[in-house]
Structure 1
Amino acid sequence: MEAGFSMFKRKSTSKSSSSKGLSKAAAYRIQTEAHEWLMNPPSEFEYLPSDDLSRWIVRISGAKGTLYENESFLLQFDFTDDYPMEAPEVIFLPPAPLHPHIYSNGHICLDILYDKWSPAMTVNSICFSLLSMLSSCTKKERPLGNDSYVMRCAGGRSPKEVNWHFHDDKV
């Protein structure tokens, strides 16, 4: 399994935000999670190999018997120096699932990604929370105000810059 860690090397020459250097603490935590993932991969998710430790792409498949059965979606995780004290930025890559808590630009309205984050959470626990959110959905639709929200986020606004109001825990 040692060879598997080559997929988590950071790019040293790129200056993009997804390739920025991480603190030792953040890099250690991410590498620990990567090691656990490689040793015991969750069957519901697939890590797509990259050479950038600060950005993960994970494929999530809809659970059997749900509205999203036989569908799969890509999640992008961007980690900062403050991980795990701060949640990674997590978005769905296009096309984002039709869901009352997922905007068409991929932003996710889920409290654990923002004010309910805990350093005890991991990429794996986030993925299972999102799978649960998708699985409990009863109607495929966009959130109210999707179009105006997406327009306000034009130009690359991060979902972490949004003042989310969590009021609906039923989907």
Structure 2
Amino acid sequence: MVDFARVQKELQECNRDFEVSGIKVVPKSDASLAHLLGTITGPLGTPYEGGTFKIDITLPDGYPFEPPKMRFATKVWHPNISSQSGAICLDILKDQWSPALTLKTALLSVQALLSAPEPDDPQDAVVAQQYLRDYPTFMGTARYWTEAFARTSSLGVEEKVQKLVEMGFPDALVRSTLESVEGDENMALEKLCSG
């Protein structure tokens, strides 16, 4: 059974210094603390700089004795992250997990992974091959994906609503969807299209 008192404390810890750490975690719905949405910023000096990445977090019944299940909801070009599913290859999310670790330390580790790819232990073989064989192209592709999928739009809420309504979605649904994804236009569109 998930220790929800601990999860509450961890959420407070994660959100306390967002401006400094670039890490935030919120429940995906008011109904449960077992499904969360994490946010990390792209590390400086990497092709992910300037990006804001959403991470889908599911806490198994055995949490904190079992690792949280994390996957990128934002598309990212990285050898240790699936470009298709967002699956993350990181030892502390598997066999190196310890109950002493927290959601914040796990997200800090994911953020550090963006700075230090491990192409010899890839999650995405195509990206890893590009990283090893054609590093300049890898950097360009990673930067492009950050621009395309992880940059928060500079459009205001009303402009985003208008843009999505023009695509044929109802105004009220667009507003509630944008609110549920904290104004992330790409995630809103993905959610609207998926039903």
- Contact kept, 8 Å, 1:61 with 1:71, in 2: the verdict is yes
The Cα RMSD (Å) is 2.5
Cα 1:68–1:80 change in 2 (3 A) is same
Per the normalisation by structure 2, the TM-score is 0.55
Alignment of 1:11-160 (within 5 A): 23=1, 26-41=3-18, 43-48=21-26, 50=28, 51=30, 52-95=32-75, 97-104=76-83, 105-137=85-117, 143-144=124-125
Tell me the amino acid that sits aligned with residue 48 of structure 2.
Y
CA distance in 2, matches of 1:38, 1:60: 11
Please state how far the C-alpha of 1:67 moved relative to its aligned partner. 1.6
Describe the SS at the equivalent of 2:57. Answer: strand
Describe the SS at the equivalent of 2:4. Answer: helix
Aligned length: 121
CA distance in 1, matches of 2:97, 2:37: 20
- Structure 2's unaligned 5+ residue stretches are 128-195
Matched with 1:151 is none
Q: Name which one, 1 or 2, has greater alpha-carbon Rg.
A: 2
Describe the SS at the equivalent of 1:53. Answer: strand
Matched with 1:152 is none
CA distance in 2, matches of 1:27, 1:107: 25
Describe the SS at the equivalent of 1:99. Answer: coil
Cα 1:98–1:43 change in 2 (3 A) is same
Please state how far the C-alpha of 1:78 moved relative to its aligned partner. 0.4
Q: Deviations over 1:69-107 (max 9, x none)?
A: 111211011012210000011110142x11111012110
CA distance in 2, matches of 1:69, 1:100: 17
Q: Deviations over 1:107-136 (max 9, x none)?
A: 011111011111111110011111111012
Counting helix residues as a fraction of each chain, which structure ranks higher? Answer: 2
Per the normalisation by structure 1, the TM-score is 0.62
Cα 1:82–1:49 change in 2 (3 A) is closer
